[in-house]
A and B are shown apart, each in its own frame.
Chain A
Amino acid sequence: MGNINGSFGMRTTLPGFDARNDDPSDPTKFSFNTDWNDIVYIDRVGYVNPPSPVPNTDGPMPGSWIRAQPEFGIDGWDEINSPWLIPVVHGLPYRAYVEARASYPNGVIYDDYRRVMVASNGVNTTQTDHSCGNKAWSEVGYVKINTWEYTALTITGNTPSYSYTYYGHRVAFVIFRLPL
């Protein structure tokens, strides 16, 4: 670490190689080199909790996205201001790559943002557990995480009816800085 052949940085090698004099572009000899400009950095990892008290409004749905102005009848402005969206990073000079996962107490972590697709709940009803919506919005300058979750109880019959219960859930996230 330090001034290595005129360049400040750090190099680490595998056993038996010389960090100063061997070819630093050879991945069979080096395990790390600050001159490598094609590697991904982990900016941070963490959890975000839903707002409390739980909002009694819909959160962003899957497939929705944020836009500064409402267009074509899709109100992106409502999405960006949803109380279910929790800002986790400000001031990023780049658009981050984000992994987000539904997370629950006692060390439970799910793939993606929902636990169960459809669960049968009797002959005439269907209960759907939605850990709902794209879990992360990443734009230049910020990352927001969607904590919205609800349970929908569909009562079928001649006239299907629906009952929704809103509740939030924790989200685990990883923010990466890609080599652009």
Chain B
Amino acid sequence: MSVRRIRMGKLAGTERGIRISKPGYDALTTGPENLLLNATDKYSNLLKLGIVYGTTTVALGFGARPFVTVTAIGDLSSAPDIVWPPNMIGPLRPSPVWMVNHVGDQTAYAIVSADGSTMSIFTPVKVWYSVYSRITGA
């Protein structure tokens, strides 16, 4: 028995969008692990990636507050007794860094405006940010 691998329009419940499944799975009923494409209002898409250096306001231009994450690229170059290989960069965990007395406060956080027009990132270090399509009022 064949299955319908492409479903488009009204899906389960109030969900709208497009689903395409792997061979042998019905696109309407199978789980997300068997979907090749899932473009619906329930799931999310990554809309914007970027890097800022220090405190910056990023223009978003949305009509509502989106979902964002920020990832600070901590800097331990001034910490004593640490050999810091050249070109070695990346997030430090936990963050902010624990050696605050040696490297200073490297806290990074973002405030997204209620109307979704801008995102202000506050940090003394480099920060990666991600903006997703899921709209939340929070």
Contacts and interface: CB of A to CB of B under 8 A. Distances in A.
Interface of B: 5-6, 18, 20, 23, 31-33, 35-38, 42-46, 65, 67-72, 91, 93-98, 100, 105, 107-114, 123, 127, 130, 132, 134, 136, 138
B67 A101 contact: no
A172 B67 contact: yes
B67 A45 contact: yes
Of listed A1, A94, A111, A113, residue having the most chain B CB within 10 A: A111
Contact of A34 (B20, B32, B69, B100): B20
Contacts of A94: 33
Interface string A37-48: 000011111110
B134 A46 contact: yes
A42 B132 contact: yes
A41 B39 CA distance: 11
Contacts of B43: 42-44
Nearest to B27: A8
Contacts of A29: none
A47 B31 contact: no
